[in-house]
Structure 1
């Protein structure tokens, strides 16, 4: 399965989704590695097997193996961190802020994959899961590294479109 197959499966009522997918995949604000790492990490975060398979096939043609592994590691790590930090924030008890997380975070960069790419992918994944604490932290790291707001905005667009693609296609597969 390919991205083109996914686009063809988008129903007529979701035409905007198809147009937005074309737009984010043609971005000139992100490098190919930034774009496809974000798309892959976001696809994994959606949990949609259909979207994951198609994106993984396409990403395999566009990313080096170390970037694929790093994007997968970001999705996996953020699956832990987004739940933990969002929950601590939502509890609303400031005493929780002082408690150490005691959660490992090994992936901040990999040979061939810079820290800014990892941070951008972390922003995208955090947008899907809705962890404000992680969004703020990773956006702050990106901005501190000199990454523009426009680039951060672009990874947010990628997250929104990949998420919408998974929601729409999974709903259609349910045949209601």
Structure 2
């Protein structure tokens, strides 16, 4: 099933999303593990059960068990970090920047996959949740590690389409 099941479930008004869903993931210039890890992390972040179940099922064929756990870990750690760092930034008081987070983030240091892959997945999740501070930080880390703008762009494309599929399916479920 996988992507085909998600595409089949999308309503006609989401035809563009249906067309983009397969092409952004399956023809990505990212390595398959990077593309599927991005898709899985974004599916977790997007929170739609159909999107998550189907992408997780198909991603399992492209990812090691460790990468599956790391992609889910990227989504969940960024769920916490995106709220925390975005809030500190939006408050606008520079003194908050000097306060330590005192939040456990050990998975970032030891994600169980290549650190750059975890960074890529964290960047994509940060795009979905809208944390500019985290987007800037992860993009800077990726670029310093040798990732091109095109590679970062690929992750953003996957994030946008996975999220849009989740939005459409959530809307249809709510209106049913």
Settle same-fold status: TM greater than 0.5. yes
Deviations 1:23-58 (A, max 9, x none): 202234111110111111100001111111111111
Retained in 1: the 8 A contact 2:41–2:74? yes
Change (3 A) 1:94 1:110: closer
Deviations 1:123-142, CA, capped at 9 Å, x for gaps? 00000000000000000000
Give the Cα separation in 1 of the matches to 2:123 and 2:47.
Answer: 17
Equivalenced residues, count: 175
The reply on whether 1:51 has 2:55 as its aligned counterpart is no
Query: 1: CA distance between counterparts of 2:158 and 2:28?
Result: 13
Structure 1 stretches of at least 4 aligned residues deviating more than 6 Å after TM superposition: none
Question: CA 1:75/1:168 → structure 2, altered by over 3 Å: closer, same or farther?
Answer: same
Q: Structure 2 CA distance, aligned partners of 1:89 and 1:41?
A: 24
Q: Aligned runs of 1:17-96 on 2, under 5 Å? A: 17-96=17-96
Unaligned segments of structure 1, at least 5 residues: none
Structure 2 SS opposite 1:101: coil
SS of residue paired to 2:125: helix
In structure 2, the residue matched to 1:105 is 105
Which SS does the other structure have where 2:103 is aligned?
A: coil
Q: Secondary structure of 1:174's match? A: helix
**Which runs of structure 2 are paired with 1:102-141 in the superposition (5 Å)?**
102-108=102-108, 109-111=110-112, 113-141=113-141
Report what 2:150 is aligned to. Answer: 150
Question: In 1, distance between residues paired with 2:37 and 2:85?
Answer: 23
Other-structure match for 1:6: 6
**Match for residue 161 of structure 1?**
161
SS at structure 2 position matched to 1:63: coil
TM-score w.r.t. length of structure 1 = 0.95
Distance in structure 2 (CA, Å) of the matches to 1:154 and 1:2: 20
Q: Which runs of 5+ in 2 are unaligned?
A: none
Query: Once the 2 structures are TM-superposed, how far is the Cα of residue 110 of structure 1 from its aligned partner?
Result: 4.0
